[in-house]
Amino acid sequence: MADEKRFAVLIDAENVSEKYIKFILDEISNDGIATIKRIYGDWTKPIMNSWKNVLLDNSITPIQQYSYTTGKNATDSAMIIDAMDILYEGNIDGFCIVSSDSDFTRLAARLRESGMIVVGMGEKKTPTPFIAACNKFKYLEVLAQNDISENRASAPAKSLSGLDSTSLDAVRNTVLTIVQETSDDDGWTSLGDVGNILTKRYPDFDVRNYGFHKLTPFIKSLNMFDIRAVSGKNGHVRLMYVREKRADTE
At 220 the three-state DSSP class reads helix
Above 50 in pLDDT, residue 72? Answer: no
Q: What is the pLDDT of residues 195-229, one digit of tens each?
A: 888 888 888 888 888 889 899 999 999 999 999 88
Above 70 in pLDDT, residue 192? Answer: yes
Domains of the chain listed by start with CATH number: 1-148 (3.40.50.1010), 153-250 (3.30.420.610)
The span from the CA of 63 to the CA of 193, in Å, is: 39
Above 90 in pLDDT, residue 95? Answer: yes
pTM above 0.75, yes or no: no
Q: What is the pLDDT of residues 99-131, one digit of tens each?
A: 998 899 999 999 999 999 999 999 999 999 999
Of residues 147, 146, 144, 92, the one with CA closest to residue 123: 144
The span from the CA of 136 to the CA of 118, in Å, is: 7
Query: Which whole number is the average pLDDT over 179-200?
Result: 88
Query: Which whole number is the average pLDDT over 125-141?
Result: 94
